Amino acid sequence: MKKICFSIYLIIIFILILGCPKKIQNNDNKENSHNKPASSNNEILTCKTPESAISSFCDLWSKGKFDNMYELLSTERKSSTELKYFISSMQKDSVNTGLPKSYRIIKKDSDLNSKSLWTIKIEFKNKRVGKLMKKTWVIDEGERGWKIDQGGLGPLFTNVFQNQ
């Protein structure tokens, strides 16, 4: 039980650190074509690319829509964290860190076909938190689309370096 609680806590902390701020606006839609608006509460979130999963997750985080963020977690992540605990933890953490202000997908670090590792730069509204570089795994779950995942390869989100 302690191991599960600790895992849930780590996931939430790392998710908060990713702090998905608003998409960087770009008049040239070609560059940010993967940045599509996140769906409404009644819609199942299905992302066709890793970039759209990251963008949707960050957009929802910046709006404080934690219930929708939960739908973008992989099956494995969701099986270890109940929705009510995820939402509660996200709400508590957002009080301390604030919500993300902006984000930018920097690069794909690793590609294992159905799983890839990405570097993301996130800026929080809270100036004490500032800008952070994060890495996250995204996994293809077939009909469910691309989801935010850890998959036994490390924390959900890991620091690259802070305040850059």
Antiparallel, parallel or unpaired: β 100-111 and 22-23: parallel
Check residue 1 and give its pLDDT. 56
Kindly report the pTM of this predicted structure: 0.68
CB 120 within 8 A of CB 58: yes
Check residue 132 and give its pLDDT. 86
Mean pLDDT by 10 residues, the chain (164 residues): 50 47 34 40 74 94 93 92 91 86 94 93 88 91 91 45 45
Measured CA angle at 70 (ends 127, 131), to 5 deg: 20
Domain covering 2-21+42-162: architecture: Roll (3.10)
CB 11 within 8 A of CB 88: no
* Nearest by Cα to 34 from 44, 43, 23, 42: 23
Other Cβ atoms less than 10 A from the Cβ of 118: the count is 21
| Alpha carbons 111 and 91: distance in angstroms, whole number | 32
Residues 6 or more apart whose CB falls under 8 angstroms from that of 31 comprise: none
CA dist list (Å): 48 to 33, 78, 138? 12, 19, 12
